[in-house]
């Protein structure tokens, strides 16, 4: 296939790399430098998003936030300007479900399909091609792009129509955030009580409290390895989407609101670019005690 990929950050670059390694023609654009590994492998660097869309049959975007997707799709020299009928636009960013539905309508009006397919798994999942991919699309559009998803992920689910993929990702981010907060509180409590947090984590991994968050992020908290796999500022954005949606739906999300405030505290202390496991530092500040 002729594939366009726009947004080659921490996750986008390895995702695009898997597509090229499988032999697909790859046309790329990003606001920073295109990784040499991609161009060395034969990816074609394009001047702008319009040029990517003109060359490719399926155009994938992997961008930080809703305004970024809007600009890439519909701004000057954007994807929409390079589309012709029959092409497919796949947004794998994590953005507003409400805006996603509006984007889909505009792309559909150009005679093209729109797929929202946000992912979970972070940098590790992107590199290992083991991402969870949550899809909102028509059945026909999903089947068209499914072979590409299978090169990037393992757990691929068509949830429903446009917007449903993004809604699922927001739900995912709620669960992950609350789990990170729970592990953070447990380790701060145990450490300040005088127990060895590493041994506490080891013991809990064998019981009902065991989780992927305790396994991976609990270790990060103890070893202080907060280099970003998924940044606090991006998770903060996702919780903002959750709270925005909850307000529109008349739903109360009290625990989500609490974790959002912890992330805000991290951002206020200059920690927004760290991995979201660094949320523990907000609790450490309040306890005047470091886990390790």
**Catalytically annotated residues:** 169
- Cα(194)–Cα(3) distance, rounded to whole angstroms? 55
Tell me the sheet residues that pair with 160.
136
Q: Radius of gyration (Cα) for the chain, nearest Å? A: 20
- Single out the residue of 30, 25, 37 nearest to residue 148, CA to CA: 25
Tokens, residue 237: 């954005």
Q: Which two tokens stand for residue 202?
A: 């080891």
Q: How far apart are CA 2 and CA 25, in angstroms?
A: 5
CA distances from 287 to 177, 185, 192 (A): 20, 10, 8
């Amino acid at each position: 296939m002729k594939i366009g990929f726009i947004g080659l950050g921490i996750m986008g670059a390895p995702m695009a790399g898997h597509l090229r390694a499988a032999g697909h023609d790859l046309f790329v654009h990003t606001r920073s430098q295109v990784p040499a590994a991609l161009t060395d492998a034969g990816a074609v660097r394009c001047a702008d998003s319009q040029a990517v869309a003109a060359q490719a049959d399926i155009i994938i975007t992997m961008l930080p936030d809703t305004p970024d997707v809007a600009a890439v799709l519909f701004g000057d020299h954007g994807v929409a300007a390079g589309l012709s009928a029959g092409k497919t636009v796949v947004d794998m960013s994590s953005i507003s479900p409400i805006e996603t539905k509006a984007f889909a309508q505009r792309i559909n009006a150009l005679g093209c399909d729109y797929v929202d397919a946000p992912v979970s798994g972070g940098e590790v999942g992107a590199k290992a091609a083991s991402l969870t991919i949550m899809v909102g699309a028509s059945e026909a559009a999903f089947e068209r792009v499914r072979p590409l998803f299978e090169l990037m992920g393992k757990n691929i689910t068509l949830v429903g129509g446009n917007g449903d993929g993004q809604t699922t990702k927001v739900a995912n981010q709620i669960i992950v955030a609350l789990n990170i907060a729970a592990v953070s509180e447990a380790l701060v409590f145990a450490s300040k009580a005088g127990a060895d947090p590493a041994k506490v984590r080891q013991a809990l991994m064998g019981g009902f409290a065991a989780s992927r968050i305790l396994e991976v992020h609990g270790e990060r908290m103890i070893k202080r390895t907060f280099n970003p796999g998924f940044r606090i500022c991006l998770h903060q954005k996702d919780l903002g989407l959750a709270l925005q949606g909850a307000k529109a739906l008349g739903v109360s999300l009290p625990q989500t609101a609490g974790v959002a405030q912890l992330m805000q505290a991290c951002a206020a202390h200059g920690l927004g670019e760290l991995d979201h496991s660094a949320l523990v530092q907000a609790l450490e500040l309040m306890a005047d005690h470091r886990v390790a």
